[in-house]
Structure 1
Amino acid sequence: MTTALTCNSTTPATKYDGSRPTPRIKLTRRSIVIKHPDAQAGERLMAEALGAVDRDALHGILKQLMKASVILQKPDEANLAFMVSMMKGIAPRDSLEAMLTAQMVSVHVATMRSACRLAFTEDLAQQEGITRTLTRLARTFAAQLEALNRHRGNGERPITVQNLSVQDGGSAIVGNVAQHAHLAVGEPGASINAGPVPSREAGKRENDRAAAMQGATA
């Protein structure tokens, strides 16, 4: 039994745990068909896998993926299945991740398509143009991956401090210090409180006092 995907329902999708199989997709001339014995269960499983909150979001994502899967001016069912599988593997957790993940798999498909064109191109000028396109796509994918990681980490970026300058009268921590957000923590076993650092004037006075005591004793 198959069910044609509709876009007039608002059935919410739950978080996908990755353990259940995702239904297959069949393309027809007029619709995208989700193949599953239970129509509602099939749409729900697909929505969970793609991070879609309802059927409207699911319909939109599948339609966009279908257009990105085009080969020789025709949507490719196998290519679409691959893109759905990749999105399932990344496991988007909300609408933002669903949109970003759809872009990532689309950019990946475009990147590999450019790589294929480069492999079959003998003309030097065309090779240079395709290489530039391939490079931009690869950089875009890397930027998308970084954006996804930052989103999942609430935008926080770890900072490692390895060099530390200590002023007179200050204190120091020996070892690398990792700073995350507003919290600074020294590495285990490497953080030692060096205590106050004496100033030059204090050291000079101490030396003069010691010399005076030696003179008086003599």
Structure 2
Amino acid sequence: MAHKSSKSKESGSRLPVGEILSARAALDASDQQIETRKLHEIVELLWLPESLSEEEMSARILRALDLYEVLKPDGSAESMLAAQMVGTHSAALDCLRRAALPDQTHVGRDMALKHAQKLITLYTQQLAALDKHRGKGQQKVTVEHVHVHPGGQAVVGNVEMGRRGETHSNDAEPIEHVQDVSTPIKAAKKKNAP
């Protein structure tokens, strides 16, 4: 009885990354074609009713491209996120526009405003993700151990850096002449030390 080869079992599975990358080199697409595809991806995210004039349609597309370019995406991940952000922004504005229609019902207005709020929240999350990817996210430093030697001073409270290294403390109180801030475990170790 013939035994099926492992290749036939894998025929339905995905290609390994190495094969995909080598296949990309075989694909033929110019930089202009790639940029045109990016343009189409952004345009497909916009609501462009057929009733729009050519000028208004062009203005909406150019505005979306402007919003994309203002984000200055660097690399594929930022490019994908920037396109999503343009779509999210466009959808949020559309929901706000629908909520403002003069013949809109209260239920319709409420639903449109709820969707707009969700989209605006999503946009804020996308912006935070972009900042985090770029290394601009909010950083938090937690200090777990502080040693204050006799005659030293410590500040307890929130300390923020101002311009040119100036420190500003919020509700901070200086502690002077701290005798011993060791925990009982540290004190026992010191006592038993040779």
Question: TM-score, normalising length from structure 2?
Answer: 0.57
**Which residue number corresponds to residue 67 of structure 2?**
86
Alpha-carbon separation, structure 1, partners of 2:88 and 2:181: 59
- Does residue 149 (structure 1) correspond to residue 169 (structure 2)? The answer is no
**Which residue number corresponds to residue 93 of structure 2?**
112
In angstroms, what is the RMSD of aligned CA positions?
Answer: 3.7
Alpha-carbon separation, structure 2, partners of 1:9 and 1:60: 10
Uncovered stretches (5+) of structure 1, i.e. residues with no partner: 1-6, 12-42, 44-54, 180-186, 201-218
- Does residue 134 (structure 1) correspond to residue 116 (structure 2)? The answer is yes
CA 1:177 to 1:160, structure 2 compared with 1: closer, same or farther past 3 Å?
farther
CA 1:74 to 1:146, structure 2 compared with 1: closer, same or farther past 3 Å?
farther
Could you say what secondary structure the match of 1:117 adopts? helix
Alpha-carbon separation, structure 2, partners of 1:190 and 1:126: 49
CA 1:70 to 1:124, structure 2 compared with 1: closer, same or farther past 3 Å?
closer
CA 1:152 to 1:195, structure 2 compared with 1: closer, same or farther past 3 Å?
farther
Alpha-carbon separation, structure 1, partners of 2:131 and 2:65: 20
Deviation per residue, 1:121-167 (Å, 9 max, x gap): 4311111111111111110000001001101117x531266xx8988
CA 1:144 to 1:165, structure 2 compared with 1: closer, same or farther past 3 Å?
closer
Could you say what secondary structure the match of 1:173 adopts? strand
CA 1:10 to 1:194, structure 2 compared with 1: closer, same or farther past 3 Å?
farther
**Which residue number corresponds to residue 9 of structure 1?**
29
**Which residue number corresponds to residue 65 of structure 1?**
42
Deviation per residue, 1:95-115 (Å, 9 max, x gap): 111111111111111111111
CA 1:61 to 1:193, structure 2 compared with 1: closer, same or farther past 3 Å?
farther
1:101 to 82, 90, 95: 82
Alpha-carbon separation, structure 2, partners of 1:138 and 1:88: 20
Q: How far is 1:79 from its partner?
A: 1.1
The one-letter code matched in structure 2 to 1:115 is L
Alpha-carbon separation, structure 1, partners of 2:47 and 2:116: 18
**8 Å contact 1:100–1:148 — kept in the other structure?**
yes
Identity across matched positions, percent: 20
Question: TM-score, normalising length from structure 1?
Answer: 0.52
**8 Å contact 1:104–1:141 — kept in the other structure?**
yes
- Does residue 198 (structure 1) correspond to residue 180 (structure 2)? The answer is yes
Uncovered stretches (5+) of structure 2, i.e. residues with no partner: 1-26, 183-194
Q: Tell me the matched-pair count.
A: 139
CA 1:176 to 1:188, structure 2 compared with 1: closer, same or farther past 3 Å?
farther
Q: How far is 1:80 from its partner?
A: 1.0
Structure 1 runs of 4+ with >4 Å offset? 164-167, 189-196
> As a proportion of its length, which structure holds more helix?
2
Q: How far is 1:177 from its partner?
A: 4.6
Q: How far is 1:59 from its partner?
A: 3.1
The one-letter code matched in structure 2 to 1:130 is A
